[in-house]
């Protein structure tokens, strides 16, 4: 029986970047693999952890540190302290994995595990879920990535833009790379109709509440302009995150009485209510919110970052702001607003276009891709 280990190296929180490996773990289990998972001990552990355990997948926490080492390091000088870097990965060697799937929230966070796999002759692949032009590898990290990435069986990226940026960041081609898609949370063939326009047009901003990534502050600066205040436009914010209180505070600061915080809501319910998507991200991978909106026949107003322009044709299936700054977002929103009577038709075009790119079952596609590696 082949053995496969899925390891999340994203220490911040469970999110959209975890869906592919999580869903794939069940498919591999069903297809006869012995499967384990290793995750950080997040502050809030998702119910997904118990779901994996209930299906016979053992789950380990790769950020746990043995108590005796913590105690020793509290009193010992730095020169003799224990190093924790590899402690959470040792189960992989004991398990004797045929393949380690290294899942990264960004494009560099799995470097310690890559090196552990190389040093212990473990075959591995990497998944990068985002890349950020504002977060450049140090010279040391550049050198380590340059050495480790060619030794993966495959390096997977969720957009071509993320792959190209990673190549630029390390200054070399990644020849063993491939583009994959994350699973989405709406039916591929859904029948969610376009909502009627009563008094207001409703824009949904579906994004975790993190300013540095999702750029809610950019959106708020645009909505603070007189012309947007006077228009019959309401923006609904969906999601949660570390800046929830700061988002509330900024809404109050700008006195944006037509911006609502709706919390975490099922995507299908979002698109029963809202007419279009707005995302003012500073960086991305390929946002599931955009894919889901297009599958639900909704147009999107998005920034020209990462995978967005790979799935949105400007002025045809959506509207692209030239950069994640208020001036460009305002310009794209203005173009969209001037064609608001066409949003339903543009959404239909968006649906056809996204289906030409995204497979109906990305998890099955990933299963076939891994099996093609002949591990």
Residues 40 and 130 both lie in one domain: yes
Same domain, 290 and 216: yes
pLDDT 10s digit of each residue in the chain, 375 long?
A: 799 999 999 988 888 899 999 999 999 999 999 999 999 988 888 899 999 999 999 999 987 555 444 444 454 455 544 454 556 788 898 999 999 999 999 999 999 999 999 999 999 999 999 999 999 999 999 999 999 999 999 999 999 999 999 999 999 999 999 999 999 999 999 999 999 998 999 999 999 999 999 999 999 999 999 999 999 999 999 999 999 999 999 999 999 999 999 999 999 999 999 999 999 999 999 999 999 999 999 999 999 999 999 999 999 999 999 999 999 999 999 999 999 999 999 999 999 999 999 999 999 999 999 999 988
Q: Cβ contacts of residue 147 below 8 Å, gap of 6+?
A: none
Residue 167 shares a structural domain with residue 211 = no
Cβ proximity of 167 and 174 under 8 Å? yes
Name the region of 258 (left: φ>0; alpha: ψ -120 to 50; beta: rest): alpha
Does a structural domain hold residue 189? no
Query: Residue 196 falls within a domain, yes or no?
Result: no
Q: What is the pLDDT of residue 81?
A: 42
Are 91 and 170 members of one domain?
Answer: yes
Looking at the fold, whether 349 and 364 belong to one and the same domain comes out as no
Please check whether residues 306 and 220 belong to one and the same domain.
yes
Sign of CA dihedral 215, 308, 316, 292: negative
If asked whether residues 59 and 34 sit together in one domain, one would say yes
Residues 39 and 146 in one domain: yes
Residue 190 falls inside a structural domain: no
Closest CA to 160 of 128, 186, 187, 183: 128
28 located within any domain:
yes
Please tell me whether residues 351 and 364 are part of one structural domain: no
Residue 19 falls within a domain, yes or no? yes
Q: What angle do CA 223, 226, 228 make, to 5 degrees?
A: 45
Gap between the Cα atoms of 214 and 217, Å rounded:
9
Q: Comparing C-alpha atoms, which of 262, 271, 258, 198 is closest to residue 231? A: 258
3 bridge partner residues: 34
Q: Are residues 130 and 208 in the same domain?
A: no
Q: Are residues 88 and 167 in the same domain?
A: yes
Q: What is the dihedral of CA 305, 273, 341, 283, to 10 degrees?
A: 0
User: Which structural domain, as residue segments, surrounds residue 226?
Assistant: 201-355
Residue 195 lies in a domain: no
CATH number at residue 158: 3.40.50.2000
Report how far Cα 352 is from the mean position of its chain's Cα atoms: 23
- The pLDDT assigned to 375 comes to 84
Q: Looking at the domain assignment, is residue 192 inside a domain? A: no
For residues 92 and 79, membership in a common domain is answered with yes
Q: Give the residue among 137, 135, 268, 159 at the shortest CA–CA distance from 213.
A: 135
Structural domain count, the chain: 2
188 within domain boundaries: no
Pairing of strands 276-279, 58-61: unpaired
pLDDT at 65: 58
pLDDT of residue 7: 96
pTM (2 d.p.) = 0.91
DSSP string, 162-186: HHHHHHHHHTS--TTEEE-----SS
Query: How many other CB atoms are found less than 10 A from the CB of residue 300?
Result: 28
Cα–Cα dist 217/14, whole Å: 23
């Amino acid at each position: 029986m082949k053995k496969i280990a899925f390891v999340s190296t994203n220490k911040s929180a469970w999110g959209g970047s975890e869906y592919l490996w999580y869903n794939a773990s069940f498919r591999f289990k069903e297809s006869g693999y012995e499967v384990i998972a290793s995750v950080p001990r997040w502050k809030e552990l998702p119910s997904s952890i118990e779901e994996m355990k209930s299906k016979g997948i053992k789950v380990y926490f790769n950020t746990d540190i043995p108590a005796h080492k913590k105690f020793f390091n509290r009193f010992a000088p730095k020169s003799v302290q224990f190093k924790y870097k590899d402690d959470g990965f040792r189960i992989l060697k004991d398990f004797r994995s045929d393949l380690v799937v290294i899942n990264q929230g960004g494009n560099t966070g799995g470097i310690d595990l890559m090196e552990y796999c190389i040093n212990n002759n473990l075959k591995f692949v990497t998944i990068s879920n985002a890349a950020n032009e504002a977060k450049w590898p140090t010279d040391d990290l550049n050198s380590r990535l340059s050495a480790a990435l060619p030794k993966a069986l495959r390096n997977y990226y969720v957009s071509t833009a993320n792959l190209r940026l990673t190549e630029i960041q390390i200054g070399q081609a990644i020849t063993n790379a491939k583009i994959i898609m994350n699973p989405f949370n709406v039916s591929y063939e859904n029948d969610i109709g376009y909502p009627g326009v009563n008094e207001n047009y409703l824009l949904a901003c579906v994004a975790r509440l993190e300013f540095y990534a999702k750029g809610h502050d950019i959106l708020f600066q645009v909505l603070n302009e007189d012309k947007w205040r006077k228009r019959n436009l309401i923006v609904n914010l969906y999601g949660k995150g570390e800046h929830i209180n700061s988002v509330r505070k900024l809404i109050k600061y700008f006195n944006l009485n037509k911006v609502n915080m709706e919390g975490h809501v099922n995507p299908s319910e979002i698109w029963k209510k809202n007419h279009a998507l707005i995302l003012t991200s500073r960086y991305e991978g390929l946002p599931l919110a955009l894919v889901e909106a297009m599958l639900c026949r909704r147009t999107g107003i998005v920034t020209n970052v990462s995978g967005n322009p790979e799935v949105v044709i400007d002025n045809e299936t959506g509207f692209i702001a030239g950069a994640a700054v208020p001036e460009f977002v305002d310009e794209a929103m203005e173009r969209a607003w001037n064609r608001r009577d066409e949003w339903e038709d543009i959404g239909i075009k968006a649906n056809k276009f996204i289906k030409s790119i995204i497979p109906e079952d990305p998890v099955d596609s990933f299963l076939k891709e891994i099996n093609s590696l002949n591990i």
